[in-house]
Amino acid sequence: MSQNNHLPQSGEILLQRRARLLGPNVSTFYEEPLHLVRGEGVWVWGADKRRYLDCYNNVPHVGHCHPRVVDAICRQAATLNTHTRYLHEGILDYVERLTATFADPLSTAILTCTGSEANDIALRMGEAVTGKRGVIATDHTYHGNTSAVSQLSRTNPPPGGYGGHVRHVPAPDSYRPLGGEAGMAHAHAFAGEVERAIADLEKSGQGFSAIILCPYFANEGFPDLPSGWLEPMAEIVRKAGGIIIADEVQPGFGRTGTHMWGHQRIGLTPDVVTLGKPMANGHPVGGVVTSSDLMAAFRKSFRYFNTFGGNPVSCAAAMATLSVLQDEALMDNARSVGAYARDGLSKLAQRNECIGDIRGSGLFFGAEMVLDRNTKEPATNFANRVANEMRQRGVLLNRLGIHYNTLKIRPPMPFSKDNADLLLETLDDVLTAIPVVS
Amino acid sequence: MSQNNHLPQSGEILLQRRARLLGPNVSTFYEEPLHLVRGEGVWVWGADKRRYLDCYNNVPHVGHCHPRVVDAICRQAATLNTHTRYLHEGILDYVERLTATFADPLSTAILTCTGSEANDIALRMGEAVTGKRGVIATDHTYHGNTSAVSQLSRTNPPPGGYGGHVRHVPAPDSYRPLGGEAGMAHAHAFAGEVERAIADLEKSGQGFSAIILCPYFANEGFPDLPSGWLEPMAEIVRKAGGIIIADEVQPGFGRTGTHMWGHQRIGLTPDVVTLGKPMANGHPVGGVVTSSDLMAAFRKSFRYFNTFGGNPVSCAAAMATLSVLQDEALMDNARSVGAYARDGLSKLAQRNECIGDIRGSGLFFGAEMVLDRNTKEPATNFANRVANEMRQRGVLLNRLGIHYNTLKIRPPMPFSKDNADLLLETLDDVLTAIPVVS
C-alpha cells in the first residue's frame, strides 16, 4: 500500500473549512480523516479513489445506497411529503409491519427523526406512568444528544451536572465480571446495583421512573451475557414500579443474527423500545414502540407532534429497509457470516497474544486488545493504532468498550464471508506489523 | 360542491388504524380529516380525487415535490449517505451558502434533523456562555417537542411543571396592545415585562440565560410590529448578560417577502438563530446558526454529535431548496403576491364585519375574526368553522393566535396571484355563507 504521510490537499482544505463553518471539536474518525465520495453495499470510496471495506457503519443497514431503498425514497419524494396531521397510509402500513416483529403488548409506535428524539420520548413515558423522574443507566452508555437524554451519559458529563435524577450502575463486563464471577452471579450483582440505585433515588425524593439500557450493552463493549441475564434486574424494577426502556438503536433490526431485537436475544420484555440509526438505511428515522396502555398514558400527559416524524418519504424509506432485510434474509446472513468471522478471530487469537477476548453475535462483534492475557490489562492505545492502521490498509472499523480497547466490527448486513476473509487477513497483517503497546 | 356528511370509508379505516397503531390523541386537521395522496407545487390531491389549494404548509417551501429538490435527494441517496465523522463537501458547501445570508458574526452552524433539536441546542448555548439556565419565552409560543424545549410552551404545559427556570412574558398583540397603545410604547411595555422576568429569575437563584422568540411571533398571531420594535427588549437582555435566540422555523427563508430572515425584518441581531421546517422542503433538516465564539463555547461545554445531522442527502436537499428559492426569486414572489392577497382581504373586509384585523407580510398573513369590531371580541368558533368550510370547498388553511381566531395563510412560496384569487373568492363565499358566531 502506498503510504500517505500527509492529507491530500482536499482533505486539509476540508478540515480548515469544517473548523471555520462548523466550529471547533467536531469529531472525525481516524488520525487521517477519511473523505468519502461514494458508497455501495459494504464498500465506500474515498476522494483518494481508494475503495474501503466498511466494517463499521450500521446506519446503511441493508448496504450503502441499496437501490430498493433509494427507489422508495425517490418515488415517494416525487409523489407527496407531508406531516401526519393529514391521513396517509404510509405510516400505518409501516407501523403495522414493524410492530408485527415485536411480542405483545408492544403494538403501538411514535415515529421520530432520530434515536435521540425516541429516547427523549421514552423518558417521558416513564414520567407519565410513574409520576416520577429518576432514571438509571449504566456508567458507560450513550443514548443520544438532546438536553434530557445527554444527561444519561457519563462519557460526556453535562456541565450543569446530572440534575439529581440520574443514577449510574456499573456496566456489565463479562471479561472482568463484577464480583469476579461470570454468568448469573454477575446478573444478580448487577441487579443489586440497580436495587441500590432505586433506593437512593427514592431516598433523594426524586423517585424511580425508569431504567434505560441497550439490551446488547453495545457501547459497554457488548459483554457475553446469557439469555435470562437481565431477569433479576427486571424483577427488581417491576417490584419498584418502574419501567424498562430497551434502546435498540444498535442491536435492533436483526443485527445480532439470532433475533430481530436485542431484548429478544437476552430474554427481556421491555415496556418501551427505542429505535434509530439502521431503521431507514440512513434516512433520518427513529421510533418508540410500546404498549397501548403506556402510549395512552404518554399521550394523555404530554402532547406530542413531530413535523417530520412519520412523513410519507421517511415511512417509504423505513418500509423498503425492512422489506430488503426480510426479502434478502439478512438476519440469517448476519448469523452465519458473524459466526464465520468470530471463528476466524479465534484462529488469529492463537498466534496473537494481544487478543484477550472475542465477543459478539451476528454482525456486531469484536475482540478486546490486552497487554497480558493473565492481567487483562487493556491495550487501549494499541487498539487505537490498530483501527488507524486498518483504515490505512482499506478496512474501516473502530473501537469502543469500557476501556476503549475493544475492536468494534459492525458492518452493513450484506457483509459476506469473502468480506470477512479480507477483514481477517488485513487484521492479521496489522496485528503482526505493529508492536503491542499500552 | 357535493357535501360529504360522512368520511369516505378509507378515511374511517385510516382513523381506526391510527388509533390502534399510533395511540389516542394523535392530532389531525379539520373535522373531516384529509387523506392526501399526491402533491405538486401549491396543490395537493386527496384520496377523494379532489384537488386542494394548499394555503397552509410551509414545509414544502419551494412547492410540493419540487423536481430539483427531488432530483437532488435521489442523486445523493444513490451516491452516498453517511455521518459527519467522515469528511464530505456537502455540509460545508451548504453551511457556507446558508451563513452567507446572515449578517456577521452569524457564520457557523450545526445541522440537525428537526427544529426541535435545533432549539434544544440553542438553550444549551445559552447555558454554555452564561452558566445559567433561566429562559424567557412568550406565553403563547411553541418551540418544539423535546423534553427541554417543550417546557417553554404554555399551550402544552409539562405535567411536572416548568422546572422553575422558565418565565413567560405576555405575547405581543398589535390589535390589543399591552397598555392600550401600539408601536414603541407597546415595545417598551414588552421590554418591561422581560426586565421583570429577568429580575425574577435572578431572585429565584436560577439566573438568566436566554430569551427565545420567533421574531415574527408566528404562533402569537403575527402582530404588526415595526422594525426596531424589539430593540428595547434586546438592550435589557444584553445588559443582563443573556443571549437572544431567534427561532426562524416559521418566518425564515424569505417567507415574509421583505427579508430572508424574520430577525432582519424586525431589525434584531440575535446571538443564535434556529432553523427547521422549510429548510429542505420536507426532508428532515434543522439547524442552528451562531457566531464562532458562541459555537466554540458550546462545543467546549457540550460534546454534540448527531448521526443523521448534516448527512450528504440532507445537505443536498437543503442546498437544492435554497438554490430554487434564489433562482426562482421566490422571496420577491412572496412579497408581491402577499401584498396582492392582503389587498384582496381588505376588500373582503369592506363587506364582512367579521374581519377585525388584517396582518402579515409576504406569504404569511391572515385576518383576525371578531364578533364586533368595536369590542374586538374574538370569533374563535367562527374561525374554526371557516377553516373547516374552506377545506370542504378545496382550500386548505388554518387558524392560530392568542385567541385562535386568526386565519393562518402560509402557502408554499410559488403561490401565485391566481392562487390568491381562488383563495379570496372561496373565502368570500364562506364568510357570506356561514353565520358569524362566537
| Residue B375 dihedral angles phi and psi, to the nearest 5° | -80, -15
What DSSP designation does A329 have? Answer: T
Evaluate whether B106 touches B260 at the Cβ level (below 8 Å): no
Please state whether beta strands B286-290 and B355-361 pair in parallel, antiparallel, or not at all (unpaired): unpaired
Out of A26, A107, A146, whose CB is closest to B120? A146
In a domain, A2, yes or no: no
CA distance B348 to chain A (A): 29
Question: Domain boundary at A327, A353, A369, which?
Answer: A327
Res. B298: pLDDT tops 50 = yes
Instruction: List, for residues A188-212, the tens digit of each pLDDT value.
Output: 999 999 999 999 999 999 999 999 9
In a domain, B77, yes or no: yes
A159:B128 CB<8 A: yes
Residues in chain B closer than 8 A to A95 (CB atoms): 21-22
A282:B20 CB<8 A: no
Residues B44 and B161 in one domain: no
Give me the numbers of helices (H) and strands (E) for chain A, helices first please: 13, 16
Per-residue confidence (pLDDT) for residue B178, from 0 to 100: 80
B73 lies within 8 A of chain A by CB: yes
Q: Where are the alpha helices (DSSP H) in B143-288?
A: 147-150, 184-204, 231-239, 262-265
Evaluate whether B14 touches A92 at the Cβ level (below 8 Å): yes
**Cα-atom radius of gyration of chain B, to the nearest Å?**
22
Average pLDDT over residues B395-400: 97
Between positions 402 and 431 of A, the ones with CB within 8 A of B are none
Residues B84 and B162 in one domain: yes
pLDDT band at A438 (very low <50, low <70, confident <90, very high): low
A77:B65 CB<8 A: yes
Residues in chain B closer than 8 A to A151 (CB atoms): none
Report the chain A residue with the minimal C-alpha distance to residue B71. A74
Instruction: List, for residues B43-78, the tens digit of each pLDDT value.
Output: 999 999 999 999 999 999 999 999 999 999 999 999
Evaluate whether A268 touches A81 at the Cβ level (below 8 Å): no
Residues B165 and B186 in one domain: yes
Query: Which percentage of chain B shows pLDDT scores above 90?
Result: 91
Question: Domain boundary at A269, A302, A327, which?
Answer: A327
Out of B24, B145, B300, whose CB is closest to A299? B24
| Residues A402-431 as b or e (16 or more Cβ within 10 Å = b) | bbbbbbbbbbbbbbeeebbebbbebbbebb
The C-alpha atoms of residue A284 and residue A277 are separated, in whole angstroms, by: 8
Report how many domains make up chain A: 2
Residues A118 and A210 in one domain: yes
What DSSP designation does A280 have? Answer: G
Instruction: List, for residues A32-81, the tens digit of each pLDDT value.
Output: 999 999 999 999 999 999 999 999 999 999 999 999 999 999 999 999 99
C-alpha distance from residue A71 to each of A67, A76, A307, B79, B321 (Å): 6, 9, 23, 12, 21
Cell digits for A305?
407532534
Residues in chain A closer than 8 A to B148 (CB atoms): 146-148
Question: Domain boundary at A279, A305, A327, which?
Answer: A327
A14:B146 CB<8 A: no
Between positions 312 and 351 of B, the ones with CB within 8 A of A are 313-314
Burial class (CB in 10 A: 0-12, 13-18, 19+), A397: buried
Per-residue confidence (pLDDT) for residue A347, from 0 to 100: 98
Cell digits for B246?
431567534
Average pLDDT over residues B252-265: 98
Per-residue confidence (pLDDT) for residue B342, from 0 to 100: 98
Per-residue confidence (pLDDT) for residue B9, from 0 to 100: 54
Res. A363: pLDDT tops 50 = yes
Per-residue confidence (pLDDT) for residue A149, from 0 to 100: 95
Average pLDDT over residues B148-176: 87
Which of A41, A357, A313 has the alpha carbon at shortest distance from A222? A357
> What's the ipTM?
0.96
The C-alpha atoms of residue B105 and residue A160 are separated, in whole angstroms, by: 27
A113:B295 CB<8 A: no
Output the CA angle A389-A394-A395, nearest 5 degrees.
75
DSSP secondary structure letters along A183-228: THHHHHHHHHHHHHHHHHHHHHTS-EEEEEE-TT-TTTT-----TT
B35 lies within 8 A of chain A by CB: yes
What DSSP designation does B170 have? Answer: P
Q: Which of B81, B130, B151 to mutate to test the interface with A (most CBs of A within 10 A)?
A: B81
Q: Where are the alpha helices (DSSP H) in B78-182?
A: 89-99, 115-130, 147-150
Burial class (CB in 10 A: 0-12, 13-18, 19+), A290: buried
Per-residue confidence (pLDDT) for residue B4, from 0 to 100: 42
B27 lies within 8 A of chain A by CB: yes
Residues B317 and B335 in one domain: no
> B138 forms bridges with which residues in the sheet?
B169
Residues B143 and B98 in one domain: yes
CATH number at residue B276: 3.40.640.10
A113:B306 CB<8 A: no
Between positions 108 and 167 of B, the ones with CB within 8 A of A are 108-110, 113-117, 120, 123-124, 127-128, 131, 133, 145-148, 150, 156, 158-160
Out of B113, B277, B302, whose CB is closest to A284? B113
Evaluate whether B132 touches B206 at the Cβ level (below 8 Å): yes
What DSSP designation does B215 have? Answer: T
Residues A168 and A264 in one domain: yes
Check: pTM over 0.90? Answer yes or no. yes
Report the chain B residue with the minimal C-alpha distance to residue A94. B21
Per-residue confidence (pLDDT) for residue B437, from 0 to 100: 74
A79:B39 CB<8 A: yes
**Coil, helix or strand for B54?**
strand
In a domain, B20, yes or no: yes
Question: In the predicted model, what is the mean pLDDT of chain B?
Answer: 95
Residues in chain A closer than 8 A to B47 (CB atoms): 87
Q: Which of A36, A147, A247, A272 to mutate to test the interface with B (most CBs of B within 10 A)?
A: A147
Res. A7: pLDDT tops 80 = no
B233 lies within 8 A of chain A by CB: no
In a domain, B47, yes or no: yes
| Residue A280 dihedral angles phi and psi, to the nearest 5° | -135, 30
Out of A70, A86, A300, whose CB is closest to B34? A86
Evaluate whether A34 touches A50 at the Cβ level (below 8 Å): no
Give Cα A226 to chain centroid, integer Å: 19
A295:B24 CB<8 A: yes
Lowest mean pLDDT among A162-171, B29-38, B165-174: A162-171
CATH number at residue B347: 3.90.1150.10
Residues A52 and A153 in one domain: no
Instruction: List, for residues B381-395, the tens digit of each pLDDT value.
Output: 999 999 999 999 999
B120:A147 CB<8 A: yes
In a domain, B169, yes or no: yes
Residues A102 and A185 in one domain: yes
Question: In the predicted model, what is the mean pLDDT of chain A?
Answer: 95
CA distance B168 to chain A (A): 19
Evaluate whether B326 touches B137 at the Cβ level (below 8 Å): no
Between positions 90 and 109 of A, the ones with CB within 8 A of B are 91-92, 95-96, 99, 107-109
The C-alpha atoms of residue A252 and residue A84 are separated, in whole angstroms, by: 25
Please state whether beta strands A36-40 and A43-46 pair in parallel, antiparallel, or not at all (unpaired): antiparallel
Residues B199 and B282 in one domain: yes
B35:A277 CB<8 A: no
Residues in chain A closer than 8 A to B276 (CB atoms): 307
Average pLDDT over residues B312-340: 98
C-alpha distance from residue A358 to each of A3, A171, A263, A354, A355 (Å): 30, 18, 21, 11, 7
Sign for the CA dihedral angle at B268, B270, B276, B278 comes to positive
B26:A91 CB<8 A: no
Residues in chain B closer than 8 A to A22 (CB atoms): 84, 91-92, 95, 108-110, 295
Report the chain B residue with the minimal C-alpha distance to residue A68. B78
Report the chain A residue with the minimal C-alpha distance to residue B96. A21
Q: Which one-letter amino acid corresponds to residue A260?
A: M
Evaluate whether B117 touches B342 at the Cβ level (below 8 Å): no
Report the chain B residue with the minimal C-alpha distance to residue A33. B86
The C-alpha atoms of residue A381 and residue A376 are separated, in whole angstroms, by: 14
Residues in chain A closer than 8 A to B131 (CB atoms): 159
The C-alpha atoms of residue A263 and residue A24 are separated, in whole angstroms, by: 38
The gap between the terminal CA atoms of chain A, to the nearest Å, is 26
Between positions 344 and 383 of A, the ones with CB within 8 A of B are none
Per-residue confidence (pLDDT) for residue A395, from 0 to 100: 98
Give Cα A128 to chain centroid, integer Å: 26
**Coil, helix or strand for A94?**
helix
Q: Which of A80, A129, A274, A398 to mutate to test the interface with B (most CBs of B within 10 A)?
A: A80
The C-alpha atoms of residue B28 and residue B30 are separated, in whole angstroms, by: 7
Task: Give the DSSP H or E segment for B335.
Answer: helix B330-351
In a domain, B300, yes or no: yes
Choose between A11 and B312: higher pLDDT.
B312
Supply the range of the domain harboring residue A227: 67-327
pLDDT band at A178 (very low <50, low <70, confident <90, very high): confident
B302:A159 CB<8 A: yes
pLDDT band at B5 (very low <50, low <70, confident <90, very high): very low
B23:A283 CB<8 A: no
CA distance A108 to chain B (A): 5
The C-alpha atoms of residue B195 and residue B205 are separated, in whole angstroms, by: 16
In a domain, A41, yes or no: yes
Residues in chain B closer than 8 A to A158 (CB atoms): 302
Give Cα B342 to chain centroid, integer Å: 19
Average pLDDT over residues A113-123: 98
Residues A355 and A312 in one domain: no
In a domain, A243, yes or no: yes
A114:B114 CB<8 A: yes
pLDDT band at B161 (very low <50, low <70, confident <90, very high): confident
**Cα-atom radius of gyration of chain A, to the nearest Å?**
22
Residues B323 and B344 in one domain: no
CA distance B291 to chain A (A): 9
How many contacts, defined by CB atoms under 8 Å, are there between A and B? 313
Res. A2: pLDDT tops 70 = no
Instruction: List, for residues B200-250, the tens digit of each pLDDT value.
Output: 999 999 999 999 999 999 999 999 999 999 999 999 999 999 999 999 999
Please state whether beta strands B395-396 and B51-54 pair in parallel, antiparallel, or not at all (unpaired): parallel
Residues in chain B closer than 8 A to A73 (CB atoms): 73-74, 77
